[in-house]
Structure 1
Amino acid sequence: MHWLKQWKASSSSTKPGVMHLAIVVLWLAGVGYAGYYFTAQRLVVFDPERVLLSLSAQDISSMAIASLGTKNAQSKGVIYHFVDNECRCNTYSEKHVKSLNKQAESDLYDVVTINLSLDNAPDFITSTPATLVLGEENELMYFGPYAQGAFCNQSTNTIGLVMKNYQQGFNAQLINHQAQGCYCQRKQPLST
């Protein structure tokens, strides 16, 4: 307690000078720059080689059907999750995947997870984690990442919106190639 009285006595008579304010400003600027730098390091373009620009929705659904097969006859569609066990970004999409799987189950969609380090996958998979949603007639509804941003969290639920719109008769056939977030590029070269 004695030290507290001394500190109060000494601090009440000492006012912050220009040097103190300069140090605080420099410290805040340094913290801001470090935050920006480390966030920018996490932001990667989902399709850096622009492979997906040359593909149509029909191309992607045809390639998916050729390499992955078709959906179950009783289901209303299929959701493919593409992951790579070595990708650190999978942890950010776990809640989103669980939420999508719950929605898929209630909407009678098949759910298939493909691990790129173990399974063969179509060449159009440019980065992971990614998802492909095909509708009742195996038509493309959505292909791309789960979300965008440094932590790729569930706040932008584009896939849920696409699925809801599909149930109401509208299919955007969305290929989300411009997203920036936490993604791991595929290791093998792609052919188009």
Structure 2
Amino acid sequence: MPLPTPKTLLTCLLALICAAGLWAAYDWFQGRYIRAFSEQTAVFAGDILSLPAELSGPGAIRVVHFWDPACPCNVGNQQHLSELLAHYAPQGVEFYSLQKPGSRGQLPATLGAIKPLHSLPGAERLSASPAVAIWDRSGQLAYFGPYSEGATCNASNSFIEPILQALSEGRPVKATHTMAVGCYCAWQDERSARP
């Protein structure tokens, strides 16, 4: 059996280096992007939430967006939130946002019409974000939970449009406890989540 030539050995070595490089690139991509968006189950319990005193009571339908600037899952719902704002704000729906305490960041310019809240009673005990709470015209919490189920959020898989439509038509909604599978980040840090 003849010995491999130096050219054959060099070709095999280059193929092995290319394969190792491709594997390393795939592993980096999976760790950076795919795992960050892996779906998980989150439970949302809204009985702990109430509007701040200046917003409580009868008025407009109020939507509060809970978000963490460091959460990669925001990317999936910010375009959808922009569409909700464009469609429902002209109908008198008021939009607010509550940023995760201790975090730093700003909403994109397309969401500039959303009014920031500095606190919301009960929000410190939320389980995950991004999330949304909707209060009806009487000031009662109608919905609390995710924007949708799954890794992406849009009008076709959203829970929000049907809720806002029902409330706009004066139909009652009571969906304050939900569980969904999707892309979420913990709202509380581990130290504050411990009893």
- Once the two structures are TM-superposed, the CA of residue 120 in structure 1 deviates from its matched residue by 4.1
- CA-to-partner distance for each residue in 1:37-77, whole Å, 9 max, x for gaps? x5896111122xxx72xx6xxx34xx322xx3343889522
> Unaligned regions of 5+ residues in structure 2, if any?
1-29, 103-117
1:6-17 to structure 2, matched below 5 A, reads none
Give the CA RMSD over aligned residues: 3.0
TM-score of the superposed pair, with normalisation by structure 2: 0.62
- 2:133 is matched with 132
- Tell me if 1:90 matches 2:74: yes
Classify 1:78/1:41 alpha carbon distance in 2 versus 1 (closer, same or farther; 3 Å).
closer
8 Å CA contact 2:149–2:181 kept in 1: the answer is: yes
TM-score of the superposed pair, with normalisation by structure 1: 0.63
Q: Which segment drifts farther, 87-96 or 145-154? A: 145-154
Count, aligned residues? 144
Q: Which segment drifts farther, 154-163 or 84-93? A: 154-163
**Greater CA radius of gyration, 1 or 2?**
1
Between the aligned partners of 1:179 and 1:97, the Cα distance in structure 2 is 18
Q: Equivalent residue of 1:179, what SS?
A: strand
- Once the two structures are TM-superposed, the CA of residue 110 in structure 1 deviates from its matched residue by 1.6
Percent of aligned pairs sharing the same letter: 22
- CA-to-partner distance for each residue in 1:108-151, whole Å, 9 max, x for gaps? 12211111144545234211111111111111121111111122
> Counterpart of 2:155 in structure 1: which amino acid?
Q
> Unaligned regions of 5+ residues in structure 1, if any?
1-33
Between the aligned partners of 2:90 and 2:168, the Cα distance in structure 1 is 12
Classify 1:70/1:104 alpha carbon distance in 2 versus 1 (closer, same or farther; 3 Å).
farther
Q: Equivalent residue of 1:64, what SS?
A: coil
